[in-house]
């Protein structure tokens, strides 16, 4: 429920994400690939700056922040899969931000500007900002306005400039897409495409059945191997021998102690980390406000009914009813209702102002009257209160000691690794490890996917190992469990397997290739026979295909064996009853179908949906137009040298990483 009441994040999202902007810009790269190349020219961007676009710049920090936000939107729970995709999102974020700046530069060259009046109108009327800055139509005042932005680490000039940039961007988009139009015929065709339904008889030829009859001879397999030998060249990857010593940070940490004075010093230096803000433990009962109608207005009668319901609940509470029982029964906030209305401890700045003002003003144990917010009508009860205070050293000692141990262990591991590496480069890792009393691990030839003792399956270690040239000196790599100091002991280059070594693979590939060709040939024959005789069932029987019948299916539906009707089978919606299709490749099946029945949508359906379809088609056309414009603009600016990209920064941002760098 806290998420339901928390102040929405559009202020921060608007500035950091520019989500609408990025969606529009992304269209350019999906519709018209430009290769993402640039003219570097001379006098390129300085370190920390990814690109100069005219007088604008995109910093590496901008891209990192944007990439993480995009990653968070796609993978809210994070995890190794999300981390592995960070380079991809960094590339996309970089291209998006460069294109965004290119549009803004072009806008200013066209003489487009954003006035302070336009800025104020945006803040006052855009739903993303209106509730925060102009509740009930009145400005919150300069002081509160600044405080609201500070909660998101924003200053007034930075925030207002980013909003102006968004307005300016939209002006260009509106200018470019103003010519887009959708005809009545296009609307009708799209409606029929989306809403017609067909019923099919379909004949299925299965690849597995064809495979059973394929029995290649040894000469055929050897000939296939020779014919495709180029695809097997160096298909056995290179391998490497390695010697390494793992300096385990956890083991060092177990042996590390911290003194009371060190704990005291840390506490004194990090006092702000242990400050507890004012907070209240609250529960509430919510009666939701009715949603706005198509005209954007809320029904006054519905609002009055919601308020009256809240008043009735309040009367029951005043008469002695149990708050938790009423919350479970009557609260329309599903997140907290099952918990008796409990929201737990909340801090200032975490809820909508109307709710927060009442919650923090009530004494412990008190119940509010009916409180209206943008979500509806609340009855709030304060269970407990806690003033802002600094936690005592005794309270946080258990938090500080592990931090200090980890810091000291990390420093000790770094020092040990540095010394070991220096000695290894001077006299070899074997002698250096022996002198330090550390365990040396030596491997046979290993591949990139092998698991190593003490290290496990580590992409970071393998990337470092396989990047080392032959006869290179000892090196080190940071790992989650510590630091590995390693020495390359040998390289086994990639090799091409003999026929005997991969005979099984060759046979499988031969049979699959032959089966696919035979299946395609047989499916074509099935279609030709069915069309010639105007009888799909007879042709299917002659060729051993299985006949099935579908239900009435729409364009977004699925048919067993045939798959999604939005794929190759979409041709069915352009056919008449009795028509027989050509050969259809569906997964591992070959299929031919006949349209048995076609159900047209009604005129009543068309009348109800035509405006929605027109809007959708128009938005698609506008997105395509703007995508083409952005792609063309990028190409022109790159060609003229107005866009200069720092290749080193781009490489650093988009290379595979074992972890994220800090901002």
Fold match flag (2-179+619-654 vs 239-256+399-492)? no
Which residues on neighbouring strands pair with residue 372, listed in sequence order? 377
Task: Give the per-residue pLDDT at 648.
Answer: 85
Task: Give the per-residue pLDDT at 80.
Answer: 58
For the record, the structure tokens of 143 come out as: 């002081």
H, E, C per residue of 306-367? HHHHHHHHHHHHHCCCCHHHHHHHHCCCHHHHCCCCEEEEEECCCCCHHHHHHHHHCCCCCE
For the whole prediction, is pTM greater than 0.75?
no
Per-residue confidence band for 7, with pLDDT thresholds at 50, 70 and 90 = very low
Helix or strand (DSSP H, E) at 279? strand 279-288
DSSP single-letter state for residue 495: B
CA 233 to chain CA centroid, Å, is 37
Q: What is the pLDDT of residues 247-274, one digit of tens each?
A: 999 999 999 999 999 999 999 999 888 9
The class (CATH top level) of 278-387 is alpha beta
Per-residue confidence band for 82, with pLDDT thresholds at 50, 70 and 90 = low
2-179+619-654: CATH topology is Triger factor/SurA peptide-binding fold (1.10.4030)
Alpha helices by DSSP H, 534-567: 536-543
Domain boundaries, the chain: 2-179+619-654, 197-233+503-599, 239-256+399-492, 278-387
Q: Could you tell me which CATH number the domain at 239-256+399-492 has?
A: 3.10.50
Please give the average per-residue pLDDT across 338-347, as a whole number.
92
Q: What span, in angstroms and rounded, lies between the C-alpha atoms of 130 and 160?
A: 14
Percent of the chain clearing pLDDT 70 (strictly above) = 90
* DSSP for 92-154, written as a single string: HHHHHHHHHHHHHHHHHHTT----HHHHHHHHHH-HHHHHHHSGGG----HHHHHHHHHTTT-
Please give the average per-residue pLDDT across 273-293, as a whole number.
89
Please give the average per-residue pLDDT across 282-291, as a whole number.
92
Q: What span, in angstroms and rounded, lies between the C-alpha atoms of 366 and 382?
A: 6
CA-to-CA separations, 359 to 279, 352, 415, in angstroms, rounded: 9, 11, 53
Task: Give the per-residue pLDDT at 386.
Answer: 92
Decide if pLDDT at 392 tops 90: yes
Decide if pLDDT at 81 tops 70: no
Decide if pLDDT at 663 tops 80: no
Per-residue confidence band for 79, with pLDDT thresholds at 50, 70 and 90 = low
Q: What is the pLDDT of residues 352-361, one digit of tens each?
A: 889 999 999 9
Burial class (CB in 10 A: 0-12, 13-18, 19+), 518: middle
Question: Three-class SS of residue 23?
Answer: helix
Q: What is the pLDDT of residues 194-226, one digit of tens each?
A: 888 999 999 999 999 999 999 999 999 999 999
Any idea how long the chain is? 663
| Cα 541-547-550 angle, rounded to 5 deg | 160
Q: What is the pLDDT of residues 143-188, one digit of tens each?
A: 888 888 888 778 888 889 989 999 999 999 999 999 999 999 999 8
Where are the strands (E) in 348-428, listed by range?
367-373, 376-386, 389-390
User: Which residue has better confidence, 380 or 271?
Assistant: 380
Sequence-distant contacts of 298-303: CB under 8 A, at least 24 apart: none
Q: What span, in angstroms and rounded, lies between the C-alpha atoms of 180 and 624?
A: 10
């Amino acid at each position: 429920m806290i998420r339901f009441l928390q102040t929405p994040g559009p202020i921060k999202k608007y500035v950091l994400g520019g989500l609408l902007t990025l969606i529009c810009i992304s269209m350019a790269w999906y519709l018209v690939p430009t290769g993402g190349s640039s003219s570097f020219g001379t006098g390129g961007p300085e370190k920390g700056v990814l690109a100069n676009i005219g007088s604008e710049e995109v910093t590496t920090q901008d891209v990192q922040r944007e990439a993480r936000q995009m990653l968070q939107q796609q993978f809210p729970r994070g995890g190794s899969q999300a981390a592995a995709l960070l380079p991809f999102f960094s590339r996309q974020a970089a291209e998006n931000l460069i294109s965004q700046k290119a549009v803004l530069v072009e806008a200013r060259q066209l003489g487009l500007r954003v006035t302070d009046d336009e800025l104020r109108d945006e803040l006052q009327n855009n739903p993303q900002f209106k509730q925060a800055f102009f509740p009930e139509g009145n400005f919150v005042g300069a002081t509160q306005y600044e405080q609201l932005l500070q909660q998101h680490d924003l200053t007034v000039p930075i925030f207002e400039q980013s909003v102006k940039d968004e307005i300016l961007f939209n002006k260009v988009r509106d200018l470019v897409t103003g010519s887009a139009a959708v005809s009545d015929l296009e609307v009708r065709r799209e409606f029929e495409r989306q809403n017609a339904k067909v019923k099919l008889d379909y004949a299925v030829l299965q690849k597995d059945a064809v495979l059973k009859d394929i029995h290649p001879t040894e000469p055929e397999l050897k000939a296939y191997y020779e014919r495709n030998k180029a695809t097997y060249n160096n298909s056995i990857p290179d391998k490497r021998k390695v010697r390494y010593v793992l300096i385990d940070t956890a083991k060092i940490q177990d042996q590390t102690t911290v003194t009371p004075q060190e704990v005291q010093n840390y506490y004194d230096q990090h006092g702000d980390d242990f400050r507890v803000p004012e907070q209240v433990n609250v529960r509430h009962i919510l009666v939701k406000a009715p949603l706005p109608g198509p005209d954007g207005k809320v029904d006054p009668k519905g609002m009055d009914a919601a308020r009256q319901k809240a008043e009735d609940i309040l009367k029951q509470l005043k008469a002695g009813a149990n708050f938790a029982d009423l919350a479970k029964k009557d609260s329309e906030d599903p997140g907290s209702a099952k918990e008796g209305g409990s929201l737990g401890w909340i801090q200032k700045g975490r809820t909508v102002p109307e709710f927060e003002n009442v919650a923090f003003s009530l004494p412990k144990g008190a119940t509010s009257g009916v409180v209206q917010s943008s979500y509806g009508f609340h009855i709030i009860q304060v269970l407990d209160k806690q003033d802002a205070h600094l936690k005592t050293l005794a309270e946080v000692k258990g938090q500080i000691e592990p931090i200090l141990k980890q810091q000291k262990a990390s420093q000790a591991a770094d020092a040990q690794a540095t010394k070991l590496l220096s000695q290894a480069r001077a006299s070899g890792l074997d002698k250096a490890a022996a002198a330090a009393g550390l365990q040396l691990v030596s491997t046979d030839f290993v591949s990139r996917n092998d698991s190593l003792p003490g290290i496990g399956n580590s992409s970071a270690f393998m990337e470092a190992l396989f990047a080392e040239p032959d006869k290179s000196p000892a090196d080190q790599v940071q790992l989650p469990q510590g630091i590995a100091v390693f020495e390359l002991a040998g390289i086994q280059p990639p090799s091409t397997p003999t026929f005997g070594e991969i005979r099984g693979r060759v046979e499988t590939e031969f049979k699959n290739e032959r089966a696919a060709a035979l299946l395609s040939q047989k499916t074509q024959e099935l279609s030709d026979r069915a069309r010639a005789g105007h009888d799909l069932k007879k042709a299917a029987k002659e060729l051993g295909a299985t006949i099935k019948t579908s239900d009435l299916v729409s364009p977004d539906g699925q048919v067993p064996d045939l798959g999604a009707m939005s794929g190759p089978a979409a041709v069915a919606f352009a056919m008449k009853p009795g028509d027989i299709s050509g050969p259809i490749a569906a997964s591992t099946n070959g299929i031919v179908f006949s349209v048995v029945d076609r159900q047209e949508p009604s005129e009543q359906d068309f009348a109800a949906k035509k405006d929605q379809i027109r809007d959708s088609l128009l938005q698609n056309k506008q997105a395509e137009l703007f995508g083409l414009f952005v792609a063309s603009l990028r190409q022109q600016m790159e060609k003229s040298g107005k866009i200069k990209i720092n290749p080193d920064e781009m490489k650093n941002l988009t290379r595979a990483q074992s972890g994220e760098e800090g901002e």
